[in-house]
Amino acid sequence: MPSNQWNKVMKLTDYITSTWNPKMKWMWGEALFGYALVLVDDYQQTNNYTPFLKGYCDYYLANPPRIDQSDTVAPALITYQMQKKFPQSGYEVLTNRALHYIQHEPRLIEDSVNHLGNSLEGKLYPKSIWVDSLMMFSVFPSIYAKEQEHPDMMNIALRQPRIMAKYMMDPIDHLWYHCYWVKQKTHYPKKKIYWGRGNGWVICSLPMILEQAPQHEERAHIITLLQDTSKALLPYQRADGTFETVFNKVGKTYRELSFTALVAAGWLKGIRLGVLEEAIYLEPAKKAYFAVVDAIEQNDQELAMPEISGPTIPVPLFPYLGYKFVPRGKNWSYGLAALLFAAIEYEKHLEKKK
């Protein structure tokens, strides 16, 4: 029997998919939300959200999107899953464009691409790799590579954590900076300012990648990264189970629920995969997940997941203020995705316990 938390999350999800237009943006947040819907259907063995996702793919098949940065690669998480359901749909055209970008986009540093790619944004911002790419650039090719037996694609996906850690993980704190500016040869922010959702991408994406690679030369190193970052992050969890948007400055910013849900999802999956200790991480993971579910708002007209910070860029000046004053909103797509990732893992935990 599903948990009360699951029922509450599904009620929110059904509200969202019944009120949103399937013609969502071709962008990272919508990509993660769509992929989370796929996982929900897979978990429940249903096709409840297939019409919504098919509408998304149909729209972009008719209106080809730009695929010019890591953030616009991520929607292949949806198109690849839908092309398997509808093999005559032509969705592989969209998937193959993302695969081509992953394989052939010029490398900026080692085997990592400029996060903003050859987009207009990429021309204006310093050439850099971002911690976001662990989720947006790496997860899809790991899934594709496992299912299609594509070792070169798997190598690209599994090299990224080592490269990203080399340039963005603090060697003492084991926490992650937002990006690394290649020409300036420095991580950014330069001071010890740790952005929550960026570290959430780490905690959530690494187990996703590990799940696709039971045997790979990078596996042991990825496990170590997950364990070290999880241990470093644990002391910053607030008494209410949440984390703040700049989490190493407790009480100076605000609690941020997309980050909190990403951590819950990653810790629960890490426990399920046997790479994180249940005795250490289960209760904090549950506390984080429950805090997000408890925060869901409901009135006569709408349901909402609140306290999600807006899309965040590491601004060139005054980075701390750039994180602190990013406004919060409700029902941002990536926050909903993080909540669904956590909900699925919690239900799988309950099943295993039974």
| Rounded alpha-carbon distances, angstroms, from residue 54 to 47, 91, 323 | 11, 10, 35
Rounded Cα distance between 241 and 11, Å, is 23
- Tokens 């629960």 map to which residue? 268
- pLDDT tens for 80-113 read 999 999 999 999 999 999 999 999 999 999 999 9
Q: What is the mean pLDDT of residues 118-123?
A: 91
Cis before 319? omega within 30: no
Q: Judge contact between 9 and 336, C-beta under 8 A.
A: no
Query: What is the H or E stretch that residue 262 is in?
Result: helix 257-272
> How far apart are alpha carbons 215 and 122 in whole angstroms?
35
Distance from C-alpha of 95 to C-alpha of 82, rounded to nearest angstrom: 10
Domains of the chain: 4-353 (1.50.10.10)
Kind of pairing, strands 186-188 and 179-181? antiparallel
Q: What gap in Å lies between CA 315 and CA 319, rounded to an integer?
A: 6
Amino acid residing at 113 = V
AA letter at 290? F
Residue with tokens 């549950």: 286
CA dist., res. 67 & res. 73, Å (int):
6
**R_g over Cα of the chain:** 19
> To 10 degrees, what angle do helices 76-85 and 28-44 make?
40
The per-residue pLDDT for 300 is 81
| CA–CA separation, 245 and 284 (whole Å) | 18
Residue 317 pLDDT > 90: no
Which pLDDT band, with edges at 50, 70 and 90, does 3 fall under?
A: very high
CA distance 123 to 109: 17
d(CA 154, CA 74): 16
Which three-class secondary structure state does DSSP give residue 244? strand
Q: How many other β-carbons are positioned within 10 Å of the β-carbon of residue 151?
A: 9
Cβ count within 10 A of residue 298: 12
User: Measured at the alpha carbon of residue 43, what is the angle toward residues 216 and 28, in degrees to the nearest 5?
Assistant: 65
In this predicted structure, the answer to whether residue 316 has a pLDDT above a threshold of 90 is: no
* Structure confidence at residue 258 (pLDDT): 98
pTM > 0.85: yes or no: yes
For residue 25, the 8-state DSSP code is -
| Residues 288 and 237: beta-carbon distance below 8 Å | yes
* pLDDT tens track for 256-268: 999 999 999 999 9
CB contact at 8 A, 70 and 115: yes
**pLDDT, tens only, 64-80:** 999 999 999 999 999 99
CB 96 within 8 A of CB 144: no
* Span 137-169, pLDDT tens digits: 999 999 999 999 999 999 999 999 999 999 999
Average pLDDT over residues 26-37: 98
pLDDT tens-digit profile of 183-223?
Answer: 999 999 999 999 999 999 999 999 999 999 999 999 999 99
Question: What pLDDT, on a 0 to 100 scale, did the predictor assign at position 306?
Answer: 98
The Cα 205–Cα 130 span in angstroms is 14
